[in-house]
Structure 1
Amino acid sequence: MPSTAPPTILEPFLAAADAVASARADVDVETARELMAEAAGMLHDSLALDHLDEHDLPIAVAGLAADLTALDPGAAVRARAGAVGDRPDLHDPDGVRGAFLVSAQVLGL
């Protein structure tokens, strides 16, 4: 039985799937939701996000959700990881950067 990610991870991923399906005619909403749910589950199971606090976790999850719907998700996640230093609102920028890079590895990007 596949793991189900908690709502804090799953819901933003499903919302991103819905948004990309609405914006692009070539994207099937059910397939996008299935793939994003699987990605959320993989990240949850991998513990890649477990070290982030309640403040940084939603920021990281929102970034990952957006990046996974990009035309080149790997490049998008790596670019976001590189830009973390420009985010003074993060409690643990190094931890968030690491979470992005580990997530890319976990998802095979």
Structure 2
Amino acid sequence: MAHVHGLLLAEFEAAASRAAAVRPEVDEQTARELMSEAAEMLHNSLALEALTEGDAAVVVRNLASDLTAPDPGAAVRARSAALDQERAGLDEPDVVAETYLLCAAVLQL
């Protein structure tokens, strides 16, 4: 899943830039560095390996958004819990829900 690594970096750095654009207290360069490190941690942990290609793309986009929320841990856990009600468009919703929690653990959220 080499393409996921590139997607992680691109989505996470773009999310950092968006967060800095709307939150004046966020330094863009620092945010991009932190998100790049988070992407590397997730890639190295193989946390996304159990996902199908389509589910991995959804998880990466959602994680990018959640990790720039004021409380990233709560955002990721809420997204995982929400899959009990909203499963549309995912190949394996249960695996996705578990992956969100695994990613939260890897990132120590």
Relative to the length of structure 2, the TM-score reads 0.93
Give the CA RMSD over aligned residues.
Answer: 1.0
- Kindly indicate whether residue 58 of structure 2 is the aligned counterpart of residue 42 of structure 1: no
Q: Count matched residues.
A: 105
Q: Which amino acid aligns with 2:32?
A: R
What's 2:90 paired with? Answer: 90
**Per-residue deviation at 1:93?**
0.3
Q: Which amino acid aligns with 1:107?
A: L
**Per-residue deviation at 1:87?**
2.5
What's 1:66 paired with? Answer: 65
**Per-residue deviation at 1:66?**
0.4
Gaps of 5+ in 1: none
1:23-67 C-alpha deviation (Å, 9 max, x unpaired): 000000000000000000000011110111111111000111100
Name the SS of the counterpart of 1:55 in structure 2: helix
**Per-residue deviation at 1:9?**
1.1
Cα distance in 2 for residues equivalent to 1:12 and 1:87:
22
Q: How does 1:1-109 map to 2 (within 5 A)?
A: 6-85=5-84, 86-109=86-109
Cα distance in 1 for residues equivalent to 2:5 and 2:94:
24
